[in-house]
Chains A and B, each alone.
Chain A
Amino acid sequence: MSIRSQLLKGILDGCVLAIIEKEEIYGYELSQKLQQYGLKDISEGTIYPVLLRLQKSQWIVGTMRPSDSGPNRKYYSLTKEGKENLDLIRNEWDLLSSPITKILRGDEDAING
Chain B
Amino acid sequence: MQLTVKELIEHNNEKRKNLTSENSEYYQNLLVYIRTNALKSERATEEVLLEMLDHLLEAQREGKSAEDVFGKTPKELAEEIIETLPKESFKSKLDFILEIGFMLFGWYLVITGIPPFISQEEQTVYLGTLLLSGFLLIGSITTLMFLVFGFLKSTAFKDKSKKNKVNWLLVILFVLFFIGGIGANVMLEPFGPSFTVSYILPFGLGCFFLLAAYLFKKSRESK
Name A's B-contacting residues (CB within 8 A).
1, 26-28, 31, 43-46, 48-49, 51-53, 56, 62, 64-65, 71-74
> Pick the contact of A45 from B1, B3, B52 — CB < 8 Å?
B52
The answer to whether B77 and A27 touch across the interface, beta carbons within 8 angstroms, is no
Residues of chain B at the chain A interface (Cβ within 8 Å): 1-3, 44, 47-48, 51-52, 54-55, 58-59, 68-71, 76-77, 80-81, 83-86
Query: How near does chain A come to B157, taking the closest CB pair, in angstroms?
Result: 14
- Number of A-B residue pairs at CB separation under 8 A: 61
Instruction: Give CA–CA (A112, B52) in the complex, Å.
Output: 49
Task: Other than A45-B55, A64-B47, give 10 A-B pairs with Cβ distance below 8 A.
Answer: A1-B76, A28-B58, A43-B68, A45-B70, A48-B52, A49-B80, A49-B81, A52-B84, A56-B86, A74-B51
State in angstroms the CA–CA spacing of A91 and B3 once bound together: 39
* Interface pair B59/A48, CB less than 8 Å apart: no
A49 & B83 in contact (Cβ 8 Å cutoff):
yes
Inter-chain contacts of A49 with B (CB < 8 A)? 77, 80-81, 83-84
Distance in angstroms between the alpha carbons of A56 and B71 in the assembled complex: 24
Tell whether A56 pairs with B59 under 8 Å between CB atoms, given A45-B77, A73-B54. Answer: no
Q: Which residues of B contact A48 (CB under 8 A)?
A: 48, 51-52, 77, 81
Give Cα A74 to B47, complex, Å.
9
The residue among A26, A51, A52, A73 with the most chain B CB atoms within 10 A of its own CB is A52
Chain B contact surface mostly: helix
Residues on A with C-beta less than 8 A from B47 are 62, 64, 74
A1 to B44, CA, bound (A): 26
Residue of B nearest to A50 (CB): B84
Instruction: Knowing A45-B70, A52-B48, say if A28 contacts B59 (CB, 8 Å).
Output: yes
User: Least Cβ distance of A59 to chain B in Å?
Assistant: 13
Contacts of B84 in A (CB 8 A): 49, 52-53, 56
Q: Which residues of B contact A31 (CB under 8 A)?
A: 55
Q: Which residue of B lies closest to A49 (CB)?
A: B80
What are 14 of the A-B contact pairs (CB < 8 Å)? A1-B76, A27-B54, A44-B70, A45-B52, A45-B55, A46-B71, A46-B77, A48-B52, A52-B48, A52-B81, A52-B84, A56-B86, A64-B3, A64-B47
A62-B48 Cα distance, complex, nearest whole Å: 11
B residues within 8 A CB of A1?
76
Most chain B beta-carbon contacts within 10 A, residue among A43, A51, A65: A43
A1-B80 Cα distance, complex, nearest whole Å: 13
The residue of chain A having its C-beta at the shortest distance from the C-beta of B15 within the complex is A71
Q: Are A27 and B70 touching (Cβ within 8 A)?
A: no
Question: Which of B1, B54, B77, B86 contacts A28 (CB under 8 A)?
Answer: B54
State A64–B84 Cα separation when bound (angstroms): 20
Q: Which 6 interchain pairs have the tightest Cβ spacing?
A: A43-B71, A45-B70, A52-B84, A49-B80, A28-B55, A28-B58
Q: Which residue of B lies closest to A73 (CB)?
A: B54
CB distance from A53 to the nearest CB of B (A): 5
Closest to B83 in A: A49
